[in-house]
A and B are shown apart, each in its own frame.
Chain A
Amino acid sequence: MADEFGSKQNTIDSSKLFNIRVWEGIQYKFAKDLGIAIKVMSEDGKINTPESNFSDFYRLLTSTEEGRKICEVTPDSIEKDVRFVSLYADCVYYCATTYFYGKKFNILVGIRERKYDEKMVKDLSVKAGLDYTELLEAYKTQTVFPEEKITNIADLIVDLFNIVIELSVQEYITHMANKEKEEEIAKMSALMEASIIINSTRNLDQLLKIIMQSAEKVMQAEASSVFLIDSEKNELFFEIATGPKEEEVKKIRLKMGEGIAGWVAYTGESLLVPDVSKDPRFARRVDEQTMFITKSVICVPLKVRNQTIGVVQVLNKIGGGNFSKTEIKFLEALASQAAIAIENANLYEHLEERAEQLNKELKTANLDLGIEKLRIESMVQSMEDAVVAVNKDKKIVMVNRVAERIFSIDGGAAEGKALDDVIMTKDIVDNFTMVLLTKNINKTEVKFQLGNKEHIFAAVIAPIIDEKSEAAGSVAVFRDITEIKELDKMKSEFLNMVSHELRTPLTPIQAYSELMMIRNVDNEKVKKYANIINKETQRLGALIGDLLDLSRIDAGKGLSLTLEPVDMNELMNTVYETFRNASVKHKIILTLPEKSEIIMVDKNKMIQVMTNLLSNALKYSPEGGDIEIRTWTDKEIFYGSVKDSGLGIAVEDLEKIFDKFYRVESEKVKKIGGTGIGLPIVKYILELHNGGVDVKSEMDKGSEFIFHIPIVRPS
Chain B
Amino acid sequence: MAESKKRIVVADDEPFILSALQDTLSDSYSVTTASNGAEAIKVAQKVLPDLIILDVMMPEMDGLEACKNLKRDKATSSIPVILLTAKGQITDIEKGFKSGADAYVVKPFSPARLIEKVEEIFEKVEMRKKIMEDKKK
A-side residues, CB < 8 A to B, are 496, 499-500, 503-512, 514-515, 518-519, 525, 529, 532, 535-536, 583, 622, 668, 671-673
In the complex, what distance in Å separates the CA atom of A505 from the CA atom of B110? 14
Q: Considering residues A512, A583, A671, which has the most beta carbons from chain B within 10 angstroms of its beta carbon?
A: A671
**Chain A hits for B86, CB < 8 A:** 499-500, 503-504, 507
In the complex, what distance in Å separates the CA atom of A118 from the CA atom of B115? 64
Type the 1/0 row for B29-46, where 1 means its CB is closer than 8 Å to any CB of A.
Answer: 000000000000000000
In whole Å, how far is A362's beta carbon from the nearest beta carbon of chain B?
44
Q: State which of B27, B87, B109 has its C-beta within 8 Å of the C-beta of A511.
A: B109
Q: Is the CB of B62 within 8 A of A671?
A: yes
Q: Is the CB of B87 within 8 A of A504?
A: no
Closest to A515 in B: B111
User: B28-79: which have CB < 8 Å to A?
Assistant: 57-60, 62
Q: Is the CB of B110 within 8 A of A508?
A: no
Q: State which of A500, A510, A671 has its C-beta within 8 Å of the C-beta of B110.
A: A510
Given the interface contacts A506-B107, A510-B108, A511-B108, does A668 sit within 8 Å of B20 by beta carbon?
no
**Chain A hits for B60, CB < 8 A:** 622, 671
**Chain A hits for B62, CB < 8 A:** 671
In the complex, what distance in Å separates the CA atom of A532 from the CA atom of B20? 9
In the complex, what distance in Å separates the CA atom of A519 from the CA atom of B107? 21
Q: Is the CB of B59 within 8 A of A672?
A: yes
Closest to B60 in A: A622
Q: State which of B15, B19, B87, B108 has its C-beta within 8 Å of the C-beta of A509.
A: B108
In whole Å, how far is B72's beta carbon from the nearest beta carbon of chain A?
20
In whole Å, how far is B67's beta carbon from the nearest beta carbon of chain A?
14
Q: Is the CB of B108 within 8 A of A503?
A: yes
Given the interface contacts A499-B87, A532-B16, A536-B16, does A510 sit within 8 Å of B57 by beta carbon?
no
Q: Is the CB of A511 within 8 A of B57?
A: no
**Chain A hits for B23, CB < 8 A:** 511-512, 515, 525, 529
Q: Is the CB of A518 within 8 A of B108?
A: no
**Chain A hits for B15, CB < 8 A:** 583
Given the interface contacts A504-B86, A504-B107, does A671 sit within 8 Å of B57 by beta carbon?
yes
Closest to B88 in A: A499
In the complex, what distance in Å separates the CA atom of A317 from the CA atom of B24? 38
In the complex, what distance in Å separates the CA atom of A672 from the CA atom of B61? 11
Q: Is the CB of A508 within 8 A of B20?
A: yes
Q: Is the CB of B112 within 8 A of A673?
A: no
**Is there a chain A Cβ closer than 8 Å to B93's Cβ?**
no
16 new A-B contacts at CB < 8 Å, known A496-B87, A510-B108, A511-B111? A503-B107, A505-B16, A506-B108, A507-B14, A507-B16, A507-B109, A508-B19, A508-B20, A509-B108, A511-B20, A511-B108, A514-B110, A515-B20, A515-B24, A518-B111, A519-B27
Q: State which of B17, B21, B24, B27 has its C-beta within 8 Å of the C-beta of A504.
A: B17
A selection of 18 A-B contacts at a CB cut-off of 8 Å is: A499-B86, A499-B87, A507-B20, A507-B108, A508-B20, A510-B109, A511-B23, A512-B20, A514-B110, A514-B111, A515-B111, A518-B111, A519-B27, A622-B59, A671-B57, A671-B59, A671-B62, A672-B59
**Chain B hits for A622, CB < 8 A:** 13, 59-60
Q: Considering residues A504, A512, A583, which has the most beta carbons from chain B within 10 angstroms of its beta carbon?
A: A504
Q: Is the CB of A514 within 8 A of B107?
A: no
**Chain B hits for A512, CB < 8 A:** 20, 23
In whole Å, how far is B13's beta carbon from the nearest beta carbon of chain A?
8
**Chain B hits for A535, CB < 8 A:** 16
In whole Å, how far is A648's beta carbon from the nearest beta carbon of chain B?
15
In whole Å, how far is A142's beta carbon from the nearest beta carbon of chain B?
44
In whole Å, how far is A562's beta carbon from the nearest beta carbon of chain B?
32
In the complex, what distance in Å separates the CA atom of A510 from the CA atom of B114? 12
**Chain A hits for B107, CB < 8 A:** 503-504, 506-507
**Chain B hits for A509, CB < 8 A:** 108
In the complex, what distance in Å separates the CA atom of A505 from the CA atom of B112? 19
Q: Is the CB of B16 within 8 A of A671?
A: no
Type the 1/0 row for B82-120, where 1 means its CB is closer than 8 Å to any CB of A.
Answer: 000011000000000000000000011111100000000
Q: Considering residues B21, B24, B108, which has the most beta carbons from chain A within 10 angstroms of its beta carbon?
A: B108
In the complex, what distance in Å separates the CA atom of A509 from the CA atom of B17? 9
Given the interface contacts A503-B86, A503-B107, A514-B111, does A508 sit within 8 Å of B17 by beta carbon?
yes
**Chain A hits for B27, CB < 8 A:** 519
In whole Å, how far is A538's beta carbon from the nearest beta carbon of chain B?
12
Q: Is the CB of B58 within 8 A of A514?
A: no
**Chain A hits for B57, CB < 8 A:** 500, 671, 673
In the complex, what distance in Å separates the CA atom of A280 from the CA atom of B15? 56
Q: Considering residues B23, B27, B112, which has the most beta carbons from chain A within 10 angstroms of its beta carbon?
A: B23
Closest to A582 in B: B15
In the complex, what distance in Å separates the CA atom of A37 from the CA atom of B93? 60
Closest to A189 in B: B88
In the complex, what distance in Å separates the CA atom of A583 from the CA atom of B35? 13
**Chain B hits for A583, CB < 8 A:** 15
Closest to B65 in A: A671
Closest to B59 in A: A622
In the complex, what distance in Å separates the CA atom of A197 from the CA atom of B106? 21
Closest to A669 in B: B59
In the complex, what distance in Å separates the CA atom of A503 from the CA atom of B109? 10
In the complex, what distance in Å separates the CA atom of A529 from the CA atom of B109? 16
**Chain B hits for A507, CB < 8 A:** 14, 16-17, 20, 86, 107-109
In the complex, what distance in Å separates the CA atom of A508 from the CA atom of B107? 9
In the complex, what distance in Å separates the CA atom of A209 from the CA atom of B15? 42
Q: Which 3 residue pairs spanning A and B have beta carbons closest together? A: A511-B20, A503-B86, A510-B108
In whole Å, how far is A676's beta carbon from the nearest beta carbon of chain B?
15
In whole Å, how far is A596's beta carbon from the nearest beta carbon of chain B?
33
**Chain B hits for A672, CB < 8 A:** 59
**Chain B hits for A529, CB < 8 A:** 23
In the complex, what distance in Å separates the CA atom of A509 from the CA atom of B19? 12
In whole Å, how far is A517's beta carbon from the nearest beta carbon of chain B?
9
In whole Å, how far is B55's beta carbon from the nearest beta carbon of chain A?
10
**Chain B hits for A508, CB < 8 A:** 14, 16-17, 19-20
In the complex, what distance in Å separates the CA atom of A515 from the CA atom of B110? 9
In whole Å, how far is A608's beta carbon from the nearest beta carbon of chain B?
22
In whole Å, how far is A188's beta carbon from the nearest beta carbon of chain B?
12
Q: State which of A500, A505, A518, A671 has its C-beta within 8 Å of the C-beta of B58.
A: A671
Given the interface contacts A507-B17, A535-B16, A536-B16, does A500 sit within 8 Å of B87 by beta carbon?
yes
Closest to B58 in A: A671
**Chain A hits for B109, CB < 8 A:** 507, 510-511
**Chain B hits for A519, CB < 8 A:** 27
In whole Å, how far is B28's beta carbon from the nearest beta carbon of chain A?
12
**Chain B hits for A532, CB < 8 A:** 16, 19-20
In the complex, what distance in Å separates the CA atom of A673 from the CA atom of B111? 23
In the complex, what distance in Å separates the CA atom of A529 from the CA atom of B107? 18
In the complex, what distance in Å separates the CA atom of A128 from the CA atom of B108? 61
Closest to A182 in B: B108
**Chain A hits for B16, CB < 8 A:** 505, 507-508, 532, 535-536
**Chain B hits for A505, CB < 8 A:** 16
In whole Å, how far is A96's beta carbon from the nearest beta carbon of chain B?
37
**Chain A hits for B17, CB < 8 A:** 504, 507-508, 511
In whole Å, how far is B111's beta carbon from the nearest beta carbon of chain A?
5
In the complex, what distance in Å separates the CA atom of A499 from the CA atom of B87? 7
In whole Å, how far is A275's beta carbon from the nearest beta carbon of chain B?
37
Q: Is the CB of B14 within 8 A of A514?
A: no
In whole Å, how far is A579's beta carbon from the nearest beta carbon of chain B?
14
Closest to A533 in B: B16
